Structure 1
Amino acid sequence: MNSHRSWVQPFLTTKSLLPENQESPIEFIESDTVDSRLFYRRNHFLYPVFPFNSYWLPIGGAVTRSKLFSMDDLFRFPSKTIKIVLECAGNKRRLFNPKVYGEQWDKGAISQAVWKGVPLRILLESAGIKEGAKEVVVEGYDYGPRSDLNQVYPYARSLPLEKAMDSDTIIAYEFNGRPIPFQHGYPLRLIAPQWYAMASVKWIKHITVMDSEFSGPFQSIDYVYYPHKDNEKDARPVTEMNVNSTIQNPKDMDILNAGTHIINGIAWTGKGRITMVEVSLDKGHTWKQAEIQRHGSTEYSWVRWSYKWTAAERGEYKIMSRASDSFKRKQPSQPFWNRKGYGYNAVDHIKVKIE
């Protein structure tokens, strides 16, 4: 006889419908890869319409010879398979104080999958990069109006040449062993490991090598850290993910019986690897080291962690987690506040009650 668990399934949490933005039920994700049904969805515009049956990938700009690749061409190149975290730059935006405008993501604008594709470097080298090239612009088929500029724009982002030429930056055509689902970028999606997911452009339309700085609105206006509310002083681009952690169990505001409980969650970083996760049960006065489970983890994936807690006394408790990485970065007690609400990575916390 099947248990209840076999038919009770979590669902995405809807943040908006037009465009579709859905949050992964991260507290209920127990596997190292997230299937397309539960993988978070982030869109700036409505889903694009384009000719699937006659799809070609052009590469032009500052190259010695423009190229046009068919899907069969891409399948013939050496492939690379990588398991990576994709985290929206606005993940946890709802937690900022003072509040910031934008999609009010909680903790579920993050998922993990295995992507397969051809290194972008191979395609760029086949086109021949001209001397003086600085950036590689990837434009998607998705586009729409921007109210701040009174104009229609495509979603396009650039990578510095060094990042574009990294052997792990790929043009992906598979997601968890299957063709990429349409909602996640079919037929081709850029995957830029360790950077926030705004860099991993979906539904690729064309790639352009530039000898100047790209200034599209999703590069120069959005996905920029603005530390000051009313001016652009000290602005800097959003790039690699911050070190971060999320408590999955118990759930926030759970009521628990006295006894032994397992506190667990995930931790990830955009530089190096996670070296330590700590848990506090006394509002941050003392910290205890959690156990990190590295089975199945890779260079770009999250790690799972757990801590055994014996709760003997009744009352309310604040459970906190903080991660550290190999570049000596540690989650701060307070987030770096910025006007558009990117990169939240303050110490995670929940509250529970022991009865």
Structure 2
Amino acid sequence: MTRTGMHMLKKGFSFQGPAEGVHALKSWITPEDDLFLVTHMGFVEIDSDHWHLDIDGLVGNPTSLCLSDLQAMPQREFMSFHECAGSPLAPTLAKRRIGNVVWKGVPLSLVLERAKISKQASFIWTSGLEWGEYAGVEEPYQKDLPIEKALAEEVLLALEINGRPLTPERGGPVRLVVPGWYGTNSVKWVGSITAANRRASGAYTTRFYNDPTPSGVKAVWSVAPESVIVSPSPDDLLLADVPTKIWGWAWGDREISTVEVSVDGGGSWQKATVGPREDRSWQRFELPWAPASGHHFLLCRCTNEHGEGQPPSAARNAVHSVQVQVGV
């Protein structure tokens, strides 16, 4: 749906990210310049004076909020990793598009409360205002959340990222943010919210972003445990027997309890130290290392508090590896 005061900045699928990939992610809080940008149909620029959010469906008080209405409501900050689920056309290919940021906005629960959401509602549908075509589909970008997640305190209608207003490229002036879940659920340029008693029926919840499992199709919602090695990178100059450290980030919807590192291509594993997390931030891990000269194949894998880990391959959260050369 198009509205007054909107135009497309760029049409079609787009991806931007740091050239060094995860090796650029050296900061606890990821600067916007190092945070990936992905869009299915294009970037939308919306005149803030014309933006409004419609809340309808199974509600007792259908509501429309303008930007000043939302800005006047209580807001909160929440730190969270932010990860792209990767291409829905290749769901087993690990893309490792990740960052850690601080969002600020209005809890979605407060907006649903104002609209007097019905007890019959079991899902919340959120629609973005972009338009165009993706993989042969031309329809609004609409996602859904189970009501339990929609009412969770961390789910926000975000107005800011890292202390700055959301730009059009980041989904501004307002986007949904669902910490702990893959970025596909954090709808950009949000324009409408519908309370319903069933899942949304559009392509982005039925055709795309569903994974096959032995027990049936599973929605791409909660982020599985994952870790990456930030340092060393393949370009680093390492010297034999000179103490260094292998370090990186681990994250998931559930807190990470253990990270293991291998320096011999998976032949043996050593436990790294794992730092705490704040809200749903990523966690830093590190392992001291005094490498011998030659070629080394480094890997990392993590396990969350429920004992769930990373598969070795063929998954969006597959084990990360880095090849390095150590000089004499």
Fold conserved between structures, TM > 0.5: yes
Equivalent of 1:265, from 241, 248, 254? 248
Contact 1:244 1:345 in 2 (8 A): yes
TM-fit CA distance, 1:128: 0.8
Contact 1:253 1:350 in 2 (8 A): no
Shift in alpha-carbon separation, 1:299–1:44, aligned structure 2, 3 A: same
Question: What does residue 140 of structure 1 align with?
Answer: 128
Contact 2:141 2:204 in 1 (8 A): yes
Question: What does residue 61 of structure 2 align with?
Answer: 65
Question: What does residue 119 of structure 2 align with?
Answer: 131
TM-fit CA distance, 1:255: 5.5
- The number of equivalent residue pairs is 315
Question: What does residue 23 of structure 2 align with?
Answer: 27
Q: Does 1:160 align with 2:136?
A: no
Q: How do 1:1-355 and structure 2 match up within 5 A?
A: 18-24=12-18, 25-90=21-86, 101=90, 106-107=95-96, 109-149=97-137, 152-226=138-212, 234-252=216-234, 256-259=238-241, 260-271=243-254, 273-294=255-276, 297-312=277-292, 314-336=293-315, 344-355=316-327
Letter of the structure 2 residue corresponding to residue 317 of structure 1 = H
Letter of the structure 2 residue corresponding to residue 51 of structure 1 = D
Letter of the structure 2 residue corresponding to residue 19 of structure 1 = F
TM-fit CA distance, 1:68: 1.2
Give the Cα–Cα distance (whole angstroms) in 1 for the partners of residues 50 and 154 of structure 2. 27
TM-fit CA distance, 1:203: 0.6
Contact 1:324 1:330 in 2 (8 A): yes
Letter of the structure 1 residue corresponding to residue 158 of structure 2 = A
Q: Which moved more, 1:185-194 or 1:73-82?
A: 73-82
Give the Cα–Cα distance (whole angstroms) in 1 for the partners of residues 91 and 181 of structure 2. 20
Listed as ranges, the gaps of 5+ residues in structure 1 are 1-15, 94-99, 337-343
Give the Cα–Cα distance (whole angstroms) in 1 for the partners of residues 236 and 314 of structure 2. 25
Give the Cα–Cα distance (whole angstroms) in 1 for the partners of residues 56 and 12 of structure 2. 33
Give the Cα–Cα distance (whole angstroms) in 2 for the partners of residues 323 and 164 of structure 1. 28
TM-fit CA distance, 1:50: 3.6
TM-fit CA distance, 1:47: 1.4
Give the Cα–Cα distance (whole angstroms) in 2 for the partners of residues 111 and 199 of structure 1. 16
Give the Cα–Cα distance (whole angstroms) in 2 for the partners of residues 324 and 102 of structure 1. 21
Give the Cα–Cα distance (whole angstroms) in 2 for the partners of residues 31 and 75 of structure 1. 29
Letter of the structure 2 residue corresponding to residue 201 of structure 1 = V
TM-fit CA distance, 1:101: 4.4
> C-alpha offsets along residues 284-320 of structure 1, whole Å, 9 cap, x if unaligned?
23211112233xx3130001111111113x3221111
Contact 2:40 2:134 in 1 (8 A): no
Give the Cα–Cα distance (whole angstroms) in 1 for the partners of residues 72 and 135 of structure 2. 42
TM-fit CA distance, 1:227: 5.8
Give the Cα–Cα distance (whole angstroms) in 2 for the partners of residues 283 and 18 of structure 1. 39
Question: What does residue 5 of structure 2 align with?
Answer: none
Give the Cα–Cα distance (whole angstroms) in 2 for the partners of residues 244 and 126 of structure 1. 37
Contact 1:142 1:154 in 2 (8 A): yes
Letter of the structure 2 residue corresponding to residue 216 of structure 1 = G
TM-fit CA distance, 1:348: 1.5
Give the Cα–Cα distance (whole angstroms) in 2 for the partners of residues 195 and 285 of structure 1. 32
TM-score normalised by structure 1 residue count: 0.82
Shift in alpha-carbon separation, 1:195–1:106, aligned structure 2, 3 A: closer
Letter of the structure 2 residue corresponding to residue 334 of structure 1 = S
> C-alpha offsets along residues 85-137 of structure 1, whole Å, 9 cap, x if unaligned?
1101118x9xxxxxx74897743x11121001111111101111123212111
> C-alpha offsets along residues 176-200 of structure 1, whole Å, 9 cap, x if unaligned?
1111122111111111111100000
% same residue = 29
Q: CA RMSD in A?
A: 2.4
TM-score normalised by structure 2 residue count: 0.89
Contact 1:80 1:118 in 2 (8 A): yes
**SS across alignment from 1:131:** coil
Shift in alpha-carbon separation, 1:49–1:347, aligned structure 2, 3 A: closer
Contact 2:46 2:173 in 1 (8 A): no
